Amino acid sequence: MRSYRKASAVGVVAIGALALAACSSSTPAAPSESAESSTADAGVEIGAVDLAAAGCPADIRIQTDWNPESEHGHLYALLGDDYEVDGQNKSVTGPLLASGEYTGVDVTILSGGPATGFTQPNAQMYNDPSIFLAYVGTDEAIAHSGDLPTVSVFAPLQKDPQMIMWDPTVYPNAKTIADLGTEGVSIRVFPGGTYMDYFVGSGVLTADQVDATYDGTPAVFVSEQGKIAQQGFASAEPYIYENEIAEWGKPVAYQLINDAGYPKYAAMMSVIPENVEKYRDCLTELVPVLQQATVDFYASPAATIDLILELVEAYNTGWVYSQGVAEFSVDKQLEEGLAGNDANGQMGVADDARVQELFDIVEPIYREQGLPVKDGLKPTDLYTNEFIDTTITF
């Protein structure tokens, strides 16, 4: 869950990372194949990639997990100049482009968070059968493998941007989350974060250090004058706290939860399991387009950032996102390896050992919590790399 950046958001009830806002059927209908692409009707020439011929839905609808932001730039980069904004439904639709060429289908990118009543993207995909792809973290995929199963086909981010931050002037000897544990620092977080269960269970932190009252606003962190630590996103909060929160106005130190031992893949592009086979030809053509759009966005993000900022204003959810944060996010994602190639020089793949490591961490936690983990679930049930084009890299 993203944090609210506006003082007026105080009092908004935060939802745990694994809380679902709606119940849903486990056997949804397939994405609509009867809709016709308005661009195709207009006679626009299709380029080198023909997703319509590959059997893709006429409108590939993608559910994100939050308001438009630079972490989602790889999706918004699929759009050109010809798009329609739906401010009421918090979505944008336009011809899906591959390196600037029309692919024969449209793409609709749907906002999450406040736009969906904080329903998780996997639940939203089951609630709305027209949604073809949704962001699903690997821990969420495990937790809901029994009632909302998904299969990842593309990992746009190498590391989860989630981090814990603190004041380096108050805790100059703290370099890691484990150091905060040693110093007994209280850490303020949203309730329901499995990574905190892991840190407590593994002894990195103690249970009495966890303060699950974070509401997404900076007020308590500022008023405590850095005596507490707080969750955030490495691709946003460091810039915001130093440059946009006048009451703070100085750097924060942080460590990614990934680097502290919780190797989650965040926001993996996922489908319902039966669609892996049903839309195999489509995914074979589509996933490399998603890969190339990701590489292209980080190489030249300016136009896509302009679109993201336009959408934030049009959706008017009360969330504030500035150009400074958007540009910082791109730079920080590349600097920290949040986006980029993996250790083998590939991009977009899910690493077998890494998924296994997270599986071993969270599966017993979820079973103890009574979450619907599928009996006999294997880590390899959660993802496939078969559609990845290994020649497309950063």
At residue 14, the pLDDT reads 33
Q: Which of 56, 23, 59, 34 is nearest to 131 (CA)?
A: 59
Domain C-terminal end among 222, 256, 290: 256
Domain C-terminal end among 229, 256, 283: 256
| Number of domains making up the chain | 2
CB atoms inside a 10 Å sphere around CB 306: 13
At residue 44, the pLDDT reads 82
Beta bridge partners of residue 94, listed in sequence order: 107
Nearest-angstrom CA–CA distance, 124 and 107: 17
Q: DSSP label at 349?
A: P
User: Is residue 8 situated within a structural domain?
Assistant: no
My answer on whether 49 and 195 are in the same domain is no
Domain of residue 271 covers: 14-159+264-382
My answer on whether 150 and 209 are in the same domain is no
Domain C-terminal end among 200, 231, 256: 256
Task: Please answer whether residues 272 and 150 qualify as being in contact, where contact means their C-beta atoms are separated by less than 8 angstroms.
Answer: yes
Nearest-angstrom CA–CA distance, 205 and 179: 9
User: Is residue 113 situated within a structural domain?
Assistant: yes
Alpha carbon distances (Å) from 17 to 2, 65, 259, 292, 375: 10, 11, 19, 30, 22
User: Is residue 360 situated within a structural domain?
Assistant: yes
User: Is residue 239 situated within a structural domain?
Assistant: yes
Residues 311-358: tens digit of each pLDDT: 999 999 999 999 999 999 999 999 999 999 999 999 999 999 999 999
My answer on whether 123 and 189 are in the same domain is no
User: Is residue 6 situated within a structural domain?
Assistant: no
Alpha carbon distances (Å) from 244 to 84, 231, 237, 322, 325: 31, 17, 10, 9, 9
Exposed, middle or buried by CB within 10 Å (0-12, 13-18, 19+), for 38? middle
Tell how strand 101-110 and strand 91-98 pair up.
Answer: antiparallel
Q: DSSP label at 111?
A: -
My answer on whether 283 and 342 are in the same domain is yes
My answer on whether 20 and 67 are in the same domain is yes
At residue 42, the pLDDT reads 55
My answer on whether 84 and 203 are in the same domain is no
My answer on whether 316 and 180 are in the same domain is no
Tell how strand 101-110 and strand 162-166 pair up.
Answer: unpaired
Task: Please answer whether residues 142 and 362 qualify as being in contact, where contact means their C-beta atoms are separated by less than 8 angstroms.
Answer: yes
- What b/e sequence results for 90-119 when a residue is b if at least 16 CB atoms lie within 10 Å of its CB, and e otherwise? bbbbbbbbbeebbbbbbbbbbbbbbbbebb
Residue 216 main-chain phi, psi, to 5 deg = 90, -5
My answer on whether 139 and 279 are in the same domain is yes
My answer on whether 296 and 358 are in the same domain is yes
Nearest-angstrom CA–CA distance, 226 and 230: 9
pTM, two decimal places: 0.90
Mean pLDDT by 10 residues, the chain (394 residues): 34 34 40 48 83 98 98 98 97 98 98 95 97 98 97 98 98 98 97 95 96 95 97 98 98 98 97 98 98 98 98 95 98 97 96 97 95 96 98 97
231: CATH: 3.40.190.10
My answer on whether 139 and 167 are in the same domain is no
Task: Please answer whether residues 157 and 354 qualify as being in contact, where contact means their C-beta atoms are separated by less than 8 angstroms.
Answer: no
Q: Give CA 363 to chain center in angstroms.
A: 21
User: Is residue 3 situated within a structural domain?
Assistant: no
DSSP 281-327: HHHHHHHHHHHHHHHHHHHS-HHHHHHHHHHHHHH--S----HHHHH
User: Is residue 293 situated within a structural domain?
Assistant: yes
User: Is residue 350 situated within a structural domain?
Assistant: yes
My answer on whether 150 and 170 are in the same domain is no
My answer on whether 103 and 178 are in the same domain is no
